[in-house]
Amino acid sequence: MAESNKNLYPDKWLNKASAGERVACELRMRIISGRIESGSILSENQLAAEFSVSRSPIREALKVLASENLLRLERMGAVVLELTEKEIQEIYDVRLLIETFVFERLVKMDTTEVAKELSKTLEMMKIAIKYQDADDFSFQDVAFHETIVRSIDHSHILMIWNNLKPTLESLILLSMRMRFEETYDDFDRIIRNHELYIEAISKKDRDLMVQSLHQNFDDVQGRVEDLWTSQQTFTKGVEHDD
Amino acid sequence: MAESNKNLYPDKWLNKASAGERVACELRMRIISGRIESGSILSENQLAAEFSVSRSPIREALKVLASENLLRLERMGAVVLELTEKEIQEIYDVRLLIETFVFERLVKMDTTEVAKELSKTLEMMKIAIKYQDADDFSFQDVAFHETIVRSIDHSHILMIWNNLKPTLESLILLSMRMRFEETYDDFDRIIRNHELYIEAISKKDRDLMVQSLHQNFDDVQGRVEDLWTSQQTFTKGVEHDD
DNA sequence: CTTGTTCAACTTGTATACAAGTATTATGGC
DNA sequence: GCCATAATACTTGTATACAAGTTGAACAAG
Pure H helices in B107-154: 112-130, 134-150
Residue-level pLDDT at A186:
75
B interface with A, Cβ–Cβ < 8 A, is 60, 63, 67-69, 87, 90-91, 93-94, 97, 101, 154-157, 159-160, 163-164, 227, 229-230, 233-234, 236-238, 240-241
**Strand C nucleotides with an atom less than 7 Å from a protein beta carbon:** 10-17, 22-23
β pairing state of B78-80 and B71-73: antiparallel
Is residue A230 pLDDT above 70, yes or no? no
Residue-level pLDDT at B89:
86
Which CATH number is B9-80's, of 2.60.120.1440, 3.40.50.620, 3.40.50.720, 1.10.10.10?
1.10.10.10
- Chain A's closest residue to B230, CA to CA, is A104
H or E, element range at B171: helix B155-181
A34 Cβ contacts chain C strand, under 7 Å: no
- Chain A's closest residue to B162, CA to CA, is A67
Record the pTM: 0.86
Strands (E), A74-225: 78-80
- Collapsed DSSP state (helix, strand, coil) of residue A68: coil
Closest residue to C11 (CA, C1′): B76
Question: Which CATH architecture is the domain B85-240 placed in?
Answer: Up-down Bundle (1.20)
Mean pLDDT, residues B116-127:
96
**Where residue B4 falls among pLDDT bands split at 50, 70, 90?**
low
% of chain B beyond a pLDDT of 90 = 63
Closest residue to C22 (CA, C1′): A76
Tell me the pLDDT tens digit for each residue of B153-175.
999 999 999 999 999 999 999 88
Q: Determine, for residues B227 and A67 on separate chains, whether the beta-carbon distance falls below 8 Å.
A: no
A interface with B, Cβ–Cβ < 8 A, is 60, 63, 67-69, 87, 89-94, 96-97, 100-101, 103-105, 154-157, 159-160, 163-164, 206, 210, 213-214
Mean pLDDT, residues B23-32:
95
A60 Cβ contacts chain C strand, under 7 Å: yes
- Which among A65, A96, A63 has a CA at the least distance from the CA of A83? A65
Q: What span, in angstroms and rounded, lies between the C-alpha atoms of A91 and A139? A: 18
**Where residue B239 falls among pLDDT bands split at 50, 70, 90?**
very low
Please give the nucleotide, over all strands, whose C1' is closest to the CA of residue B55: D15
Among the ranges given (A127-136, A178-187, A199-208, A219-228), the one the predictor scored with the smallest mean pLDDT? A219-228
Q: Is pLDDT larger for residue B146 or for residue A234?
A: B146
Interface test with B, best of A58, A63, A73, A97 (most B CBs within 10 A): A97
**Where residue A218 falls among pLDDT bands split at 50, 70, 90?**
low
Task: Kindly report the average pLDDT of chain A as a whole number.
Answer: 86
**Where residue B210 falls among pLDDT bands split at 50, 70, 90?**
confident
- Which among A132, A126, A87, A161 has a CA at the least distance from the CA of B97? A161
Q: How far is A206 from chain B (nearest CA, A)?
A: 8
Please give the nucleotide, over all strands, whose C1' is closest to the CA of residue B21: D13
Is residue A105 pLDDT above 80, yes or no? yes
Mean pLDDT, residues A196-219:
85
Residue-level pLDDT at B217:
67
Residue-level pLDDT at A211:
83
Query: Is CATH 1.20.120.530 the right assignment for the domain spanning A85-241?
Result: yes
Q: Which chain A residues in 188-227 sit with Cβ < 7 A of strand C?
A: none
Cβ density class A3-16: b for 16+ within 10 Å, e for less:
eeeeebbeeeeeee
Task: Decide: B26 and B9 in contact? Cβ < 8 Å.
Answer: yes
The torsion defined by the Cα of B89, B95, B96 and B101, in degrees rounded to 10, comes to: 160
User: Residue A48: how many CB atoms within 10 A of its CB?
Assistant: 17
Which residues does nucleic strand D approach, with CB less than 7 A?
A: A 43-46, 55-56, 59, 73, 75-78; B 18-20, 52-57, 60, 75-76
| Greatest mean pLDDT among A235-239, B103-107, B238-242 | B103-107
- Chain A's closest residue to B55, CA to CA, is A56
Is residue A239 pLDDT above 70, yes or no? no
Mean pLDDT, residues A110-137:
94
**Where residue A240 falls among pLDDT bands split at 50, 70, 90?**
very low
Tell me the pLDDT tens digit for each residue of B49-78.
999 999 999 999 999 999 999 999 998 899
* Identity of the amino acid at B146: E
Mean pLDDT, residues B89-118:
92
Query: Is CATH 3.40.50.1970 the right assignment for the domain spanning A3-80?
Result: no
Mean pLDDT, residues A129-153:
94
Mean pLDDT, residues B6-16:
90
Task: Decide: A176 and A187 in contact? Cβ < 8 Å.
Answer: no
**Strand D nucleotides with an atom less than 7 Å from a protein beta carbon:** 10-17, 22-23
Q: Where are the domains of chain B?
A: 9-80, 85-240
Is residue A144 pLDDT above 80, yes or no? yes
Tell me the pLDDT tens digit for each residue of A57-68.
999 999 999 999
